[in-house]
Amino acid sequence: MTRLHDLFTEQNQSPWLDNIRRGWITSGELNTWVETGVRGLTSNPSIFQKAIQDSADYDAEFSASIGEGLDVEASYWRLVTSDIRSALAILRPVYDSSNGLDGFVSVEVDPGLARDAAGTESSARHLDELLDEPNLYVKIPATAEGLAPISQMIAEKRSINVTLIFSLERYAEVMESYITGLEHAEGDLSRISSVASFFISRIDVEVDRRLDAIGTPEALALRGKAAVANGQLAYRLFTATFVGPRWDALVQRGARVQRPLWASTSTKNPDYPDTLYVDELIGPDTVNTLPDNTLAAFDHHGTVARTIDTDIDAASKVMSDLAALGIDMDDVTQQLEAEGVAAFEKSFDELLGVLGQKAATLR
């Protein structure tokens, strides 16, 4: 047994892999990760940009697609869905053995649709129907425009990974969208699943930058504390939301909680412990999706112990201390949401540009 197994069996937290590469699928490395305790997989446009640009593994299929007359963007989606199909098959036994709790593989809608509600809804529906597997999560960004499509997809009994959540206020809206979607779904709800991907490390990157600019001892003492505190307060919001008569009525129909998923959990600052955003966010009914390096680090020297709600008062004090110094968390999270959307769109556009050059060479 590994620490990743212990994380689930002892703390009811599911470790997922936040990466995908075709070479891992063909070599059996992804199967090895699953044997080590990985219980799901997430991807995003930046991950696919790195996978496809940095490897020759995709060249043959891309060449075939171009040879068949597909345009560059259609060829890109064929590459992506091929990898996702393979990963779905590898993770399917986890889905079956966990009765649909884990074993999910996530694929994101076109990031250019993040501010387009109708486009997001149409793209999410298309991806879900194209891949048509019970352990698929379609990722929808948690922009204001994404909230209605989230509810609609849940009402249609499609499983959704809501991504790019930074603020507690938006997280509350995401959970409301999920619950509203369940209320509009017909019949049994037991096969509808969702996670809410709450981004962690980027909070510290931006807050630390602002604290460094203030430069006082009080400010510097708060470096590296905002992200964990924000996640811990999000967990408190989660536990306060999925209770009471409204939720109980949905549970009677088979509803599952929308688990918080800690994303962006690799440590960006080398001065911080490499498992900081795993060790400090362990608790039941949660997921942590980790890049392979962070997964390996946690399996080697992480600490398996409940930490998510052991000192909520301390988390609240971090936020009040930041506010007293003039750190506006609303401004921080709005900036990070905009940057996150832009970064995914940039990755998508850059990769299409690279593939366009390849296609021109092939032609």
Q: Can you give 131-143 as a three-state secondary structure string?
A: HCCCCEEEEEECC
Q: Are strands 136-141 and 160-165 parallel, antiparallel or unpaired?
A: parallel
Give me the pLDDT at residue 303, please.
96
Number of domains in the chain: 1
* Own/partner pairs, 211-220, CB within 8 angstroms, 24+ separation: 211/325, 211/327, 214/325, 214/326, 216/325, 218/321, 218/325, 219/325
Classify residue 312 by burial, with Cβ atoms within 10 Å: 0-12, 13-18, 19+. middle
- Chain centroid to Cα 337, Å, comes to 14
Give me the pLDDT at residue 92, please.
98
The two structure tokens encoding residue 256 = 């599952």
- Give the pLDDT mean for 221-249: 98
Give me the pLDDT at residue 152, please.
98
Give me the pLDDT at residue 53, please.
87
Q: What is the CATH number of the domain that holds 304?
A: 3.20.20.70
Give me the pLDDT at residue 181, please.
98
Residue % of the chain over a pLDDT of 70: 100
Give me the pLDDT at residue 190, please.
97
Read off the DSSP letter of residue 266: S
The answer to whether residue 362 scores a pLDDT higher than 80 is no
Nearest to 23 by CA among 325, 344, 292, 339: 292
Q: Encode pLDDT of 137-150 as tens digits.
A: 999 999 999 999 99
Distance from C-alpha of 253 to C-alpha of 126, rounded to nearest angstrom: 27
Nearest to 197 by CA among 117, 290, 110, 114: 290
Give me the pLDDT at residue 363, please.
64
Residues in the chain: 363
Give me the pLDDT at residue 78, please.
96
- Give the pLDDT mean for 21-33: 97
Domain that residue 87 falls in? 3-362
Q: Which residue has the higher pLDDT, 55 or 31?
A: 31
Q: Encode pLDDT of 123-177 as tens digits.
A: 999 999 999 999 999 999 999 999 999 999 999 999 999 999 999 999 999 999 9
Q: Encode pLDDT of 79-93 as tens digits.
A: 999 999 999 999 999
Q: Are strands 286-290 and 259-263 parallel, antiparallel or unpaired?
A: parallel
Q: Encode pLDDT of 272-314 as tens digits.
A: 999 999 999 999 999 999 999 999 999 999 999 999 999 999 9
Q: Contact 37/103 with Cβ under 8 angstroms?
A: no
Catalytic positions, written as ranges: 139
| Per-position DSSP letters for 58-104, written without gaps between them | THHHHHHHHHTT--HHHHHHHHHHHHHHHHHHHHHHHHHHTTTSS--
| Per-position DSSP letters for 142-170, written without gaps between them | -SGGGHHHHHHHHHTT--EEEEEE--HHH
3-state class (DSSP) for residue 263: strand
